[in-house]
Chains A and B, each alone.
Chain A
């Protein structure tokens, strides 16, 4: 089975801090994704990457950046954390190059609180 591991389940940070969320997948997937999940809003895509060192903005990239230096690792960075970034963050990965039907595999999420 595909394993997507997010480094922290719960994280508490202070306003203005630089925050790193890490995600590692073990199935050699090309695509990786970062979402945030908020009640009533579902999942919203922040950034995704389809290859090492490649990144694309999703629907809500403001205030975030990403890094993908190795195929298995995709990091989400909050440059200067703000209280409106308090949320559940979900990482996902999927195969590419085999048609549009590859499901995404999700980690268990990081619940981030910004105080």
Chain B
């Protein structure tokens, strides 16, 4: 079965510093990977996806993610963090069925301090 793991419950970073939010995956077949962000009292917003092609995927709000097949990882990155990036981040993988179901990680809270 498909699964994702987000090993960090929380990541703390100072504004202006680079940030990384980690995700590892386990799939049978091709991995279809997604990152979502959730701001307080809101639903999830799509950030970016990896389907095929370049290992570095660019998304919304200056975020990017690096796909590494050998390490089965899909880490979310941003070169310079903003206080407004503070939110809950979810990694997800498409499941192996024909339906477009997603399997989500448990989420990582990002706190960016001024």
Binding site for B on A (CB under 8 A): 4, 9, 31, 33, 40-45, 48, 50, 56, 58, 90, 92, 94, 96, 99-109
Binding site for A on B (CB under 8 A): 9, 32, 34, 36, 41-46, 49, 51, 90, 94, 99-102, 104-107
Pick the residue among B32, B43, B100 that contacts A90 (CB under 8 A).
B43
Q: Would A108 and B43 count as touching, CB distance under 8 A?
A: yes
Pick the residue among A45, A103, A108 that contacts B41 (CB under 8 A).
A108
Distance of A94 Cα from B44 Cα, bound (Å): 13
Distance of A106 Cα from B103 Cα, bound (Å): 15
Q: Would A100 and B46 count as touching, CB distance under 8 A?
A: no
Distance of A41 Cα from B43 Cα, bound (Å): 16
Q: Would B32 and A4 count as touching, CB distance under 8 A?
A: no
Distance of A1 Cα from B14 Cα, bound (Å): 32
27 CB contacts below 8 A, A to B, read: A9-B41, A33-B101, A42-B90, A42-B105, A43-B90, A45-B102, A48-B101, A50-B99, A90-B43, A92-B44, A94-B100, A96-B100, A99-B51, A100-B32, A100-B51, A100-B100, A101-B51, A102-B100, A104-B44, A104-B100, A104-B102, A106-B36, A106-B43, A107-B43, A108-B41, A109-B41, A109-B43
